[in-house]
């Protein structure tokens, strides 16, 4: 349990860049270093966390569950969420303090193409897991079009696709 | 500072977000944002439906969240909460964005040991594909204001190639491309 907290705290603080950068390190720690779960279970949990709602880093709770049941899950989630959020609070406070600094709009503007580039890269990575058959491509296309051109609640679109998937992929 | 982004929707100053609003919005998103669609939902909810923020403000929060540690949806949620209702908004958004998602994920994990898992997995596959479609729609809408900016498009492409082909780690992407981008912004006076 102590190791669990240390690993999650470290990744929480060092996991800059939206969480996706921490998975390789988490795998090394959870599977190879401390043997909390097998490699197969790790990828199974990972897929589940990817598909489940809520932030992807909630995945840490599943590893915590494997180590120490429900208590482990809560501890792992807290150790993952809290430190990072407090750092976010600090960063944004500093950022707001420089609100009128002449460099702020320059940096904010310069970040845009870099971040949009990363966003598109993230989509190509995610598509490897989500798109495999023509049907999945069709679902993505239809859902994307609905989300882009209508005001329909996104959750409804995705849950609808879930019901559709439950029928056609079974 | 001239507006770089032609705001699709202007924020409506007459409506204000209460802490309860923040709790409900992020709570619902946390519990229902299947397949990583939470950012799509936040953007729609805050900008398009409630008009509490401009596209530009959200993009600024989105960019700031990229350089922060922790999961992207959590960082965006707490930053939006802080923007809308100060420090209390920050903590309300933190709890609302994490707790429901935690409960649903744990329930799903326990359910997945059930023999009915095939139905669940099939449903999750459909949901994941739809969520990806939503991400693409979101990325198109966020990139749309820059569709004629050759410099931005080139930088976006180079960032993409550096990660996919050269396997740049995230910090090296920022280390390499942010100074270049800053220099270009200064040079072209693009703020």
- Three-class DSSP category at B69: strand
Question: With an 8 Å Cβ cutoff, are B139 and A119 in contact?
Answer: yes
What was the pLDDT predicted at A139?
A: 94
State mean pLDDT over B151-159. 93
What was the pLDDT predicted at A28?
A: 76
What was the pLDDT predicted at B13?
A: 58
Instruction: Tell me the nearest-neighbour CA distance from B191 into chain A, angstroms.
Output: 6
Alpha-carbon gap, residue B63 to A115, rounded angstroms? 6
Please check whether residue A151 touches B, CB under 8 A: yes
Buried b (16+ CB within 10 A) or exposed e, A8-47: bbbbbeebbbbbbbbbeebbebbbeeeebbeeeebeebbb
Question: Does residue A115 contact residue B155 with C-beta atoms inside 8 Å?
Answer: no
Buried b (16+ CB within 10 A) or exposed e, A49-69: bbbbbbbbbbbbbbbbbbbee
pLDDT category, B182, cuts 50, 70, 90? very high
Q: For B41, which of A62, A91, A155 is closest by C-beta distance?
A: A155
Give B147's contacts (C-beta < 8 A, 6+ positions apart): B153
What was the pLDDT predicted at B7?
A: 45
Task: Say which range, B31-40, B67-76, B91-100, B138-147, has the weakest mean pLDDT.
Answer: B31-40
Instruction: Tell me the nearest-neighbour CA distance from A108 into chain B, angstroms.
Output: 7
Q: SS3 sequence, B122-176? A: HHHHHHHHHHHHHHHHHHHHHHHHHCCCHHHHHHHHHHHHHHHCCCCCHHHHHHH
Alpha-carbon gap, residue B106 to B166, rounded angstroms? 37
pLDDT of B6 higher than 50? no
Residue B28: other Cβ atoms inside 10 A: 17
Q: Return mean pLDDT, chain B.
A: 84
Alpha-carbon gap, residue A39 to A41, rounded angstroms? 6
State mean pLDDT over B56-70. 85
What was the pLDDT predicted at A109?
A: 87
Question: With an 8 Å Cβ cutoff, are A117 and B155 in contact?
Answer: yes
Q: For B62, which of A61, A84, A115 is closest by C-beta distance?
A: A115
What was the pLDDT predicted at A157?
A: 86
Model confidence, pTM: 0.75
Is the pLDDT higher at B189 or at A30?
A30
pLDDT category, B22, cuts 50, 70, 90? very high
Residues A47-72: pLDDT tens digits?
677 667 778 788 889 999 988 889 99
Instruction: Tell me the nearest-neighbour CA distance from A33 into chain B, angstroms.
Output: 22
User: Splitting chain A (170 residues) into consecutive groups of 10 residues, what average pLDDT does each group show?
Assistant: 87 65 72 84 73 80 90 93 92 85 84 85 76 91 92 81 88
pLDDT of B48 higher than 60? yes
Question: Does residue A58 contact residue A43 with C-beta atoms inside 8 Å?
Answer: no
Task: Say which range, A91-100, B116-125, B171-180, has the weakest mean pLDDT.
Answer: B116-125
Question: With an 8 Å Cβ cutoff, are A123 and B136 in contact?
Answer: yes
**B-chain residues near A81 (CB < 8 A):** 70-71, 74, 94, 98
State mean pLDDT over B34-57. 85
Q: For B34, which of A19, A52, A148 is closest by C-beta distance?
A: A52
Task: Say which range, A67-76, B28-37, B180-189, has the weakest mean pLDDT.
Answer: B28-37
Question: With an 8 Å Cβ cutoff, are A165 and B124 in contact?
Answer: yes
pLDDT category, B14, cuts 50, 70, 90? low
pLDDT of B102 higher than 50? yes
Asked whether the ipTM of the predicted complex exceeds the cut of 0.90, the reply is no
Give B1's contacts (C-beta < 8 A, 6+ positions apart): A105, B191
């Amino acid at each position: 349990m102590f190791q669990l907290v240390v690993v999650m705290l470290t990744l929480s603080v060092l996991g800059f860049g939206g969480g996706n950068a921490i998975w390789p390190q988490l795998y090394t720690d959870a599977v190879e270093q401390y043997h909390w779960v097998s490699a197969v279970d790790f990828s199974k949990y990972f897929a589940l966390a990817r598909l489940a709602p809520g932030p992807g880093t909630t995945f840490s709770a599943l590893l915590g569950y494997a180590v120490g049941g429900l208590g482990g899950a809560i501890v792992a989630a807290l150790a993952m969420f809290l430190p990072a959020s407090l750092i976010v609070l600090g960063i944004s406070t500093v950022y707001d303090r420089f609100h009128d600094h002449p460099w702020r709009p320059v940096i904010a503007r310069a970040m845009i193409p870099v971040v949009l580039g990363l966003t598109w890269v993230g989509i190509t990575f995610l598509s490897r897991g989500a798109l495999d058959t023509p049907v999945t491509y069709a679902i993505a296309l239809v859902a994307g079009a609905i989300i882009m051109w209508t005001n329909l609640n996104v959750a409804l679109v995705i849950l609808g696709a879930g019901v559709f998937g439950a029928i056609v992929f079974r | 500072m001239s507006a770089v982004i032609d705001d699709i929707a202007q924020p409506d100053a007459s409506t204000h977000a209460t802490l309860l609003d923040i709790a409900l919005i992020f709570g619902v998103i946390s519990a229902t944002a299947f397949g990583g669609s939470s950012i799509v939902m936040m953007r729609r909810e805050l900008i398009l439906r409630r008009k509490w923020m401009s596209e530009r403000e959200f993009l600024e929060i989105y960019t700031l969240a990229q350089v922060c540690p922790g999961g992207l949806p959590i960082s965006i949620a707490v930053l939006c909460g802080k923007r809308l209702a100060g420090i209390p908004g920050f903590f309300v958004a933190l709890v609302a964005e994490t707790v429901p998602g935690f409960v649903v994920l744990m329930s799903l994990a326990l359910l997945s040991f059930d023999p009915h898992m095939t139905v669940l997995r099939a449903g999750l596959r459909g949901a994941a594909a739809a969520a990806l479609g939503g991400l693409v729609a979101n990325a198109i809408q966020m990139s749309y204001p820059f569709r004629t900016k050759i410099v931005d498009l080139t930088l976006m492409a180079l960032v993409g190639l550096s990660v996919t082909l050269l396997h740049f780690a995230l910090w090296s992407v920022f280390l390499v491309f942010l100074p270049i981008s800053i220099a270009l912004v200064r040079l072209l006076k693009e703020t």
